[in-house]
Amino acid sequence: MPRLTHDDIISRLREDIRASENVRDIESEQNAKSYEYYRAKTMHNEVAGRSKIVSSDVFETVEWILPALMDIFSSENGIPEFEPVGPEDVDAAEAMTELVRYQFWRQNDGESILRGGIKDSIMYRPGGIIKYGWEKVASKASHGYRGLAPEEVDYLIGSEDINVIGIKEETDSEGNILGFSVDAEREVVEFDGPRFYLIPQNEFLRHPNAKTIDDSPFVSHKKKVTADHLRRMGKSGFYKNYEKAIADYGGGGTDYDYAEEVRVQADDLSKEEEPSNDPARKMYDLYESYIQIDEDGDGILENRIIVTVGDVILRDVENPYQRPPFVLLKAIEDTHKFANIPPTELVEDIQRLRTFLLRQMVNNMQEAGDARKVFDPTRINMADLMSTVKGPIRTKAGVRPADAIMEFPIQPLNPVHFTVLEYATQLAEQRTGVTKANKGVGDQYQQTATGQLAAINQASQRVRQVAKIIGSGMSHLFRAMVLMNKKFLTKAVAIRLNEKKFLQISPDDLEGNMDLLLNVVLGSQSRQQTIINMQQLLAVLGQLSPLVPGVLDAGNTKSIITEIVKAMGYKNQDRFLPAIFQQGTDVGNQALQQKQLQQAMMEGGAGGGTGGETIGSIAGGGQGAIATVNPAGAGGGSPAWEPGAGGMVGGLPS
């Protein structure tokens, strides 16, 4: 098979683009509808003079699910974490964990990117789309060096970051060489790492038969760019033929998506053409396509990146990621299909029903407050009735007012309206998992802390399931970060762990096998449960300490307290630890034993059964209790393991 020509490549790209844009246009209509329901401004069936109220069920579903999911996917929950496959991979897994967390949450605005992606997955088809890639931003800085020795010149020539432009000898009046002057350019790297972008649904194109991004032979990012952007990318060596694209197409970018127009019109605005006549601001439709195509004619598909404007190919290179660099976040999986089912679709009919009922209620109240009148024109003075000046209305002689004017009968609101309204609310809760328990209002089971936690956990099963589905999409992103770091990271990176501690990671530190672990827990509720569990564990170990010496030492105590502080949401947990726990385990154990011995000598065996003051305190006669949450050491009244065993208390030796 012959190698594909330029026209052959353009022809095949057109076929894929046409098919993928048909899919996008179909989904765009549903996305536009979802956005209109989300804004709850109109149902397009309003009647003049009647109520125009719109129920906001879609809005409430989105804005109540989103905080719960963001509470789960937060840096405080230790996302992501890489576990070593073998003992030789421990250091590499720890280094990769810290590096990926730093790159996603701090180098990039990971929280806002993730928040936008999750919100898109809740509202739109095909879901939330995040694009990733490795970017290097560098600039050239000119430097002049004077009076250099030959070995210094050799050092500059051999430096990777310095490009020597010219070398001149410096001589005195007698021609003696005093040194060398060197003119050079130094590359200043401003950024070198992974980048992430939230892609609107109308800019994402995929093959119509694809079920996942990985099995899609064609994926493209369609975006609008300016002539200035094309020239800058061209002069940097990234694009070719850019002047031809600018000249042949003379500005474009008029293909606006329907959902995009609806979003703009919701605020009484309109999508306008570029108002400026500046040629550098003209808009062009650019397709950045990740395609499997047999360009060399050997019958085997190659992964290529082909960038085009119109029929001009700006870039055609091998895809270094070996897959389209996109991840798709789904809220509800529709198995064996590419797109997800947005939870908003599950409540759109509920919003229509509740809007209908609310409008009837409002209209009924309006009619009851301003009831229409029925009158007999032969029995009243019409001039008084029609007058705009408030005054008495006179009836004809011998006619009672009740016989001349009466109110038009109004049907009272049927009680079934309220029943259906409540049923619609319950139906929405069942479909989405967003209940009164999630919102913290109006639940009879929330009278105690235990009942509140149980209600929230029960109501959040659906939200937790959504989080797990989204987590599978995030796992693709974090695995891609591992591959990018191993492939593109060339220099050591210094990561600030806390105020005093920095971690230096070099490319060699990342070599190893590791598994990805995503902690999908129920946010603040699970963290609160972690605090309770750690307190109970600390109490039990403290109770066992007199029986089994060393069961509670400086090492595991530090780990337990660190988990408690972490669950409270504080970073840099070491600053909250007493000095005794900030030393090594052996040194801490020695100090702990000395502290306990001193206290035992001071107490002189006087127990009392109120719990000790230190971990596994040594007490005399009496019977202690296991204290869990109570810092005073008075626990739930359970018997001690042996006479004289003190209870676990909140105070720890410092």
Q: Which amino acid is located at 392 in the chain?
A: P
Q: CA-CA distance, 202 to 223, in Å (whole number)?
A: 9
Q: CA-CA distance, 335 to 27, in Å (whole number)?
A: 17
Cα dihedral sign, 481-482-487-489: positive
Per-residue confidence at 133, pLDDT binned at 50, 70, 90? Answer: very high
Inform me whether the pLDDT recorded for 387 exceeds 80. no
Average pLDDT for residues 311-333, to the nearest whole number? 96
Q: CA-CA distance, 611 to 625, in Å (whole number)?
A: 6
Structure tokens belonging to residue 85 = 């496959």
> Among the ranges 196-205, 394-403, 443-452, which has the highest mean pLDDT value?
196-205
Query: Which residue bears the tokens 């972690």?
Result: 530
Q: CA-CA distance, 45 to 356, in Å (whole number)?
A: 10
Helices (H) and strands (E) in the chain, counts: 18, 15
Name the more confident of 5 and 385: 5
Q: CA-CA distance, 64 to 76, in Å (whole number)?
A: 20
Q: CA-CA distance, 145 to 159, in Å (whole number)?
A: 14
Cα 334 to chain centroid distance, Å, stands at: 21
List of residues 6+ apart from 89 with CB closer than 8 A: 512, 513, 514
Cβ pair 435, 417 in contact under 8 A: no
Q: CA-CA distance, 509 to 516, in Å (whole number)?
A: 17
Residue 402: enclosing H or E segment and its boundaries?
A: helix 401-404
Inform me whether the pLDDT recorded for 108 exceeds 90. yes
> Among the ranges 84-88, 205-209, 255-259, 549-553, which has the highest mean pLDDT value?
205-209
Q: CA-CA distance, 17 to 289, in Å (whole number)?
A: 9
Cβ pair 203, 216 in contact under 8 A: no
Per-residue confidence at 622, pLDDT binned at 50, 70, 90? Answer: very low
Cα dihedral sign, 125-126-127-131: negative
In CATH, 137-191 is 3.30.1660? yes
Query: Which residue bears the tokens 């119109």?
Result: 310
Question: Would you list the domain boundaries of the chain?
Answer: 137-191, 522-654
Q: What is the pLDDT of residue 614?
A: 44
Cβ pair 637, 619 in contact under 8 A: no
The torsion angles phi and psi of 243, rounded to 5 degrees, stand at -65, -35
Q: CA-CA distance, 54 to 36, in Å (whole number)?
A: 11
Structure tokens belonging to residue 511 = 């070599």
Cβ pair 641, 607 in contact under 8 A: no
Average pLDDT for residues 236-251, to the nearest whole number? 88
Per-residue confidence at 643, pLDDT binned at 50, 70, 90? Answer: very low
Q: Is the pTM of this model over 0.75?
A: yes
Q: What is the DSSP string of 539-550?
A: HHHHHHTTTSTT
What is the average pLDDT score of the chain? 82
Per-residue confidence at 430, pLDDT binned at 50, 70, 90? Answer: confident
Order of all β-strands in the sheet with 302-309: 204-206, 218-226, 283-293, 302-309, 312-318
Q: How far is CA 543 from CA 537, 591, 645, in A?
A: 10, 20, 7
Q: Quickly count: other Cβ atoms within 10 Å of residue 387's Cβ.
A: 11
CA dihedral 453, 455, 460, 462 (to 10 degrees): 160
Cβ pair 573, 560 in contact under 8 A: no
Inform me whether the pLDDT recorded for 609 exceeds 70. no
Q: What is the pLDDT of residue 31?
A: 96
Inform me whether the pLDDT recorded for 432 exceeds 50. yes
Inform me whether the pLDDT recorded for 207 exceeds 70. yes
Q: What is the DSSP string of 469-518?
A: HHHHHHHHHHHHHHHHHHHH--S-EEEE-SSS-EEEE-GGGG-S-EEEE-
